[in-house]
Amino acid sequence: MIVNNHIDPEDLALYAMHLLPEHEAAAIEQHLTECEACSDSVAELRGDLVVLAMTSELHSPPAALKQRLMTQVGREKKIVPMDKAVNAQAGSPLATRLLVDDNYVATSSSGAKILPWVSWIGWAIAAGLTVTVVNLYHERDDLQAAVAKQASEMQSLAADAQRGRALIQTLTDQDAMRVTLNQTPTKAAPQGRTVYLPEKGSLIFTASNLDPLQPYKTYELWLIPADGKDPIPAGTFRPDLRGNASLIMPSIPKGVVAKAFGITIEDEGGSRTPTAPIILSGA
């Protein structure tokens, strides 16, 4: 099985021990010609198998395994050639092979028997090596996971240390700006700003934090002339939900020099004379 563009480690182990079917082995061989990492893994596995084979001790297989192997052998038809006499001198011991149930038991002049399942010990060793290799891969995966976890923890500690150094530097730097914050009033006071150009009669007015009006009421801006004449209405307006409002270029006579400006609350549509009180004023 190919996982993340690489052969599964267990399949690589079975391939290295020649335990895969031909079609699966052929697919892996094709992949190895294109993937250097998997090819290196197979080479490493084969080296490990050689070391294990050289260092493993031979043990008699369990009775159940021996029985299964002998049963499988009994199902297969084998041609057993008869040995020819190899003794050229009279009186020398002669080894013969006796055919027993399509299998043979080797005997010597001393009468010692060589059991037929001894030749299958290699397969038992191969099976044990397969289990060992799989276990080694699992242990390697666990070790890699532990190393990755430790590396992540080290990175986290390094980041914490860097933040600590930045904190100390910020607190001790003489160029750092230090600001004391106080509670903000629940509602700022209403305020208005006027930009006026007398010779052109141009006016721009903005207001903020104005109180909401009752129905059919409006705010009205007044220009107070410097020559003492009656106030001139400069336009009406209603604030939005945030208390903001503006008047842009209302109709005002040109050349009127202003002494001050004021705001009153009037009936909807405005008034020709201001109605007391003047809620905002500025000179």
pLDDT tens string for the chain (283 positions)?
A: 676 678 888 888 888 877 788 888 888 888 889 898 888 888 888 877 766 666 655 555 566 656 665 776 666 555 445 444 444 444 444 444 434 344 444 444 444 444 444 445 666 666 667 777 777 877 888 888 888 888 888 888 888 888 888 878 887 888 787 788 877 667 788 999 999 999 998 999 999 999 999 999 999 999 999 999 999 999 999 999 999 999 998 988 999 999 999 999 999 999 999 999 999 999 8
> DSSP H helical segments within 110-204, as ranges?
121-172
Beta bridge partners of 267: 217
Rounded to whole angstroms, the Cα distance separating 221 from 281 reads: 9
* Fold adopted by 191-282: Immunoglobulin-like (2.60.40)
Contact 38, 30 (CB under 8 A): no
At residue 210, the pLDDT reads: 95
Rounded to whole angstroms, the Cα distance separating 52 from 157 reads: 41
**Greatest extent of the chain over all pairs of C-alpha atoms, in Å:** 159
Q: Report the predicted TM-score, pTM, of the whole model to 2 decimal places.
A: 0.37
Q: How far is the CA of 112 from the CAs of 95, 104, 106, 107, 115, in angstroms?
A: 11, 14, 8, 6, 10
Rounded to whole angstroms, the Cα distance separating 222 from 259 reads: 11
At residue 118, the pLDDT reads: 47
Q: How far is the CA of 151 from the CAs of 137, 141, 148, 160, 164, in angstroms?
A: 21, 15, 5, 14, 20
CATH 2.60.40, the chain: domain bounds = 191-282
- The torsion angles phi and psi of 183, rounded to 5 degrees, stand at -65, 130
At residue 84, the pLDDT reads: 45
Rounded to whole angstroms, the Cα distance separating 149 from 144 reads: 9
| Residue closest to 103 by CA, chosen among 112, 87, 114, 91 | 114
At residue 278, the pLDDT reads: 94
Rounded to whole angstroms, the Cα distance separating 191 from 189 reads: 6
Token pair belonging to 24? 């699966």
| Residue closest to 129 by CA, chosen among 216, 47, 56 | 56
